[in-house]
């Protein structure tokens, strides 16, 4: 038996016009177009001394639930410091691509815009950076024992740690975020 391949649209056409309209939606074409980048105009980016090529904006710190949610912006074609994750984490790439490098500088993984990844704590030390344009990614760190990131020196010595207390202090030092409003 010969296998026939059809597009999603062709397959939906076989189920009828009404079902196809619901599944595809009236705005399908506009959803597929590139919007020209993520609008960052309402986000204030912050830096930490000694952490080159990365900016942060902390969204939430919940010490009781042991969660830190933040946006990270990685400079295009640059790498941040060598580090290790000490909390389970999820990432969602909002703009650009997030490149993960092994400690010897080889690209280990490329996460394109729209990719969602969940990883357990631990793993090999690595660096990260943006692709050909700045990368903006949402990171959700969960279930930490207190430490979230361990920053490593050239001989794998710990040079700094960032955990719940540090992220809580950084959040409190940020300007108040833009808030939604209810018209009327």
Full DSSP string of 120-172? -SEEEEEEEEE-SS-EEEEEEEES-SSEEEEEE-TTS-EEEEEEHHHHHHHHH
Q: What percent of the chain has pLDDT over 70?
A: 80
Residue 161 burial (C-beta neighbours within 10 Å; 0-12, 13-18, 19+)? middle
- pLDDT tens readout for residues 72-89: 999 999 999 999 999 999
What beta strand segments (E) does 1-134 contain? 54-62, 67-74, 83-85, 88-95, 98-102, 107-111, 116-119, 122-130
pLDDT at 49: 92
47 pLDDT band (50/70/90 cuts)?
very high
Q: What residues does each domain of the chain span?
A: 54-173
Q: 54-173 has which CATH code?
A: 2.60.120.10
pLDDT at 36: 62
Q: Enter the pTM of the model.
A: 0.80
């Amino acid at each position: 038996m010969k296998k026939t391949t059809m597009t999603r649209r062709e397959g939906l056409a076989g189920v009828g016009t009404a079902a196809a309209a619901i599944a595809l939606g009236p705005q399908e074409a506009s959803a597929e177009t590139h919007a020209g980048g993520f609008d960052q105009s309402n986000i204030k980016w912050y830096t930490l001394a000694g952490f080159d090529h990365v900016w942060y904006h902390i969204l939430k710190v919940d010490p009781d639930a042991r969660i830190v949610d933040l946006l990270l912006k990685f400079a295009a074609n640059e790498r941040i410091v060598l580090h290790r994750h000490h909390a389970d984490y999820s990432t969602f790439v909002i703009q650009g691509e997030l490149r993960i490098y092994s400690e010897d500088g080889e690209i280990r993984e490329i996460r394109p815009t729209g990719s969602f990844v969940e990883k357990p704590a631990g793993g090999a030390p690595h660096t990260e950076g943006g692709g050909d344009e700045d990368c903006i990614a949402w990171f959700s760190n969960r279930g930490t024992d207190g430490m979230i990131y361990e920053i490593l020196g050239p001989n794998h010595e710990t040079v700094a740690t960032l955990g719940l207390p540090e992220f809580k202090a950084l959040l409190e030092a940020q300007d108040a975020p833009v808030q939604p409003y209810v018209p009327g």
